[in-house]
Structures are given as structure tokens and as C-alpha cells.
């Protein structure tokens, strides 16, 4: 499966009711050596999905014959694992969280930077090829110790429903721990993959200690992240999703 996927260019389906935008996006993406299909409404989209094997849909939410969101939900219910990149105008009834909950893999608002669309599509395709089964899908919360981590709003929820906010770095770090609970993680593996700015160079120990402080704010929240001398850190708790 992986081999065959690597062998052929990915197939992208661009769905937008505005012909100009559809053509322009297609033109953009063609530079990247993808195989491109397009559809202007839900009927065409379903037809294309039946006829072709599609890896990723660039889906505009406002379509003349229906709502992209319900399509998204239906596709997931049918067990389709096609990647969905939602593109929508800001201020429409749907927000980011809802979009992601209903099974979109990423979300972009119009007007967008063409380069951003390219980068996100590339990331999505790479993620899909490297680890297709590990996606948590539509899970919203990860439970560990007394805490819940809201994976979409990126914040901690205490047992009394009080919200404790996390910085992006803290969320990334905690996500890493939650992906691999009860496994000792070396410092190097905890560093973010992409160092966008020099500020990410802040020592990982400092970040872990900040995160610990936040987690220790409630009973049973201390001793969740333990130091393993000479090896790294470990999240000493099981993780459940809901």
C-alpha cells in the first residue's frame, strides 16, 4: 500500500462552486506534480469519488447543492479515510473545532496564502503515508491522571471543569507525552520537529518544569511527568480518549 502510494502522484480533488477559484487552485497545485480533479458540487464530487481513487479533497463548505460538513460526516461514517482539507470563508456558521470534530483533517480560511495551502496539503499527505492507522480520528479529549486534555481547543480541563491554558510549546510537549504514555522519552525526541524560531531553543527541562507546575495545580496532578535520570522523561499514567 505504502509502496504503491509512493510510486504514483497523489490524487487531489478540488471542490469549489466558484469556477475561477477552482481553476486557480488547480493551477497552483499542478506545479507540485499532483494528479488533479475538480468538482463544482456534491453530485460531481460523489461521482468522482466513485470513479477515481482520491487521496485528498480540498473541500469548500458552501456548495450549491449541500453542505460540505455533512458530506464530511458521511464520508467518515462510510469509513472512508480520504484526507479532507476544509476551506471556508470566515464567519460562516462553522468554526474550526466543529470542522475538525466532524472529521476534517485540516482547516483553512479564505482568503488564504497559496503557499500555505501547498504546505498544508504536503503535510497532510506525508502524515497519511507515514502513519495511516494512528490517527485518533474525531477524539476530542485525552484523559490522563486527574486531567483531561482538549485536543482541539488545546487546553487542559480540571476535574471541576476549570480550564487551564497551555502555550503552543506546552501543548506540543504534552501531546508527545500523551501519544506515548508510560514510555521514557529522551530529550531529543521531545524537541519540536520544526524549529520555527530561535525561541524554541529554550531548554526542554525548563518547558517540562513549567508543564509540571501547571499539572501540579490540582490534587493528583503532581508526579505525572517523572524524570528518568540520564534517559529523559515519562508520563506515568494511562491515557484514554473520549
Partner 1 sequence: MIQRSVQRVRAFFGTMAGQIFLILTVGMSVAAIIALLVAEQARHHDFERVRRQRVVASAVDIAARLRRDPTQVEAMMAAHNIVGAYPEPEGVAISEPDADLEAALKERFGARSQPQAGQVPVGLCFPPKERKDRAAGLIDAPRPDCWVVRFTDNGGQRRAMALTFPRIAKPPSTVFNPLYLLVIIAASTGLAILVARFVSKPLRRLERAAEAFSLSLDPEEIPATGPEEVRAALSTFNLMQRRARAGFAERTQLLAAISHDLQTPLTRMRLRLELVEKGELRDRLLSDLQAMQTLVREGLDLASSTESREEWSVVDVDSLLASMAEDAQDLGQPVRFSGGCGGSARVKPNALTRCIANLVDNAVKYAGSAEITCTRTAGRLLIHVRDHGPGIATDQIDQMFEPFTRGPGSQPGGRHGTGIGLTIVRSLAMSFEASVRLRNAEDGGVIATIDMKE
Contact footprint for partner 1 (CB under 8 A) = 18, 20-21, 24-25, 27-28, 89-92, 110-114, 153, 155-156, 158, 160-170, 196-200, 210, 214, 217
Burial (CB < 10 A; 0-12, 13-18, 19+), residue 177, is buried
**How large is the C-alpha radius of gyration of the chain?**
20
HSE-up of residue 27 (Cα within 13 Å, Cβ side): 6
Nearer CB in complex with partner 1: 48/62? 62
Nearer CB in complex with partner 1: 29/42? 29
Tell me the closest approach of the beta carbon of residue 233 to partner 1, in angstroms. 19
SS3 76: helix
Q: Say if residues 214 and 161 touch (Cβ distance below 8 Å).
A: no
**CA–CA distance, 203 with 137 (Å, rounded to integer):** 32
Tell me the closest approach of the beta carbon of residue 79 to partner 1, in angstroms. 31
Nearer CB in complex with partner 1: 158/191? 158
Tell me the closest approach of the beta carbon of residue 60 to partner 1, in angstroms. 10
Nearer CB in complex with partner 1: 1/199? 199
Tell me the closest approach of the beta carbon of residue 23 to partner 1, in angstroms. 9
Nearer CB in complex with partner 1: 34/234? 34
Q: Say if residues 173 and 229 touch (Cβ distance below 8 Å).
A: no
Contacts of 12 (CB under 8 A, 6+ apart): 29, 34, 35, 36, 37, 54, 55, 56, 57, 58, 121
**CA–CA distance, 27 with 57 (Å, rounded to integer):** 15
Tell me the closest approach of the beta carbon of residue 101 to partner 1, in angstroms. 14
**CA–CA distance, 57 with 194 (Å, rounded to integer):** 26
Nearer CB in complex with partner 1: 13/49? 13
Q: Dihedrals φ, ψ of 177, to 5°? A: -60, -40
Tell me the closest approach of the beta carbon of residue 127 to partner 1, in angstroms. 23
Tell me the closest approach of the beta carbon of residue 189 to partner 1, in angstroms. 20
Nearer CB in complex with partner 1: 169/236? 169
Amino acid at each position: 500500500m505504502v509502496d504503491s502510494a509512493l510510486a504514483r502522484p497523489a490524487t487531489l480533488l478540488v471542490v469549489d462552486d466558484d469556477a475561477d477559484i477552482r481553476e486557480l487552485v488547480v493551477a497552483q497545485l499542478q506545479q507540485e506534480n499532483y494528479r488533479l480533479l475538480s468538482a463544482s458540487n456534491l453530485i460531481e464530487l460523489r461521482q468522482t469519488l466513485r470513479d477515481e481513487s482520491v487521496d485528498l479533497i480540498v473541500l469548500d463548505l458552501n456548495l450549491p447543492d449541500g453542505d460540505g460538513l455533512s458530506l464530511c460526516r458521511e464520508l467518515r461514517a462510510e469509513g472512508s479515510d480520504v484526507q479532507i482539507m476544509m476551506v471556508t470563508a470566515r464567519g460562516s456558521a462553522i468554526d474550526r473545532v466543529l470542522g475538525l470534530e466532524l472529521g476534517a483533517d485540516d482547516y483553512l480560511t479564505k482568503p488564504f496564502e497559496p503557499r500555505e495551502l501547498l504546505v498544508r496539503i504536503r503535510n497532510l499527505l506525508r502524515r497519511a503515508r507515514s502513519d495511516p492507522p494512528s490517527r485518533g480520528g474525531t477524539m476530542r479529549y485525552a484523559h490522563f491522571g486527574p486531567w483531561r486534555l482538549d485536543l482541539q481547543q488545546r487546553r487542559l480541563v480540571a476535574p471541576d471543569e476549570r480550564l487551564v491554558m497551555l502555550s503552543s510549546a506546552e501543548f506540543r510537549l504534552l501531546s508527545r507525552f500523551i501519544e506515548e504514555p508510560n514510555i521514557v522519552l529522551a530529550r531529543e525526541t521531545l524537541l519540536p520537529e520544526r524549529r520555527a524560531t530561535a525561541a524554541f531553543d529554550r531548554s526542554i527541562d525548563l518547558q517540562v518544569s513549567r508543564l509540571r507546575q501547571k499539572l501540579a495545580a490540582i490534587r493528583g496532578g503532581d508526579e505525572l511527568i517523572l524524570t528518568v535520570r540520564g534517559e529523559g522523561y515519562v508520563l506515568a499514567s494511562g491515557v484514554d480518549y473520549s
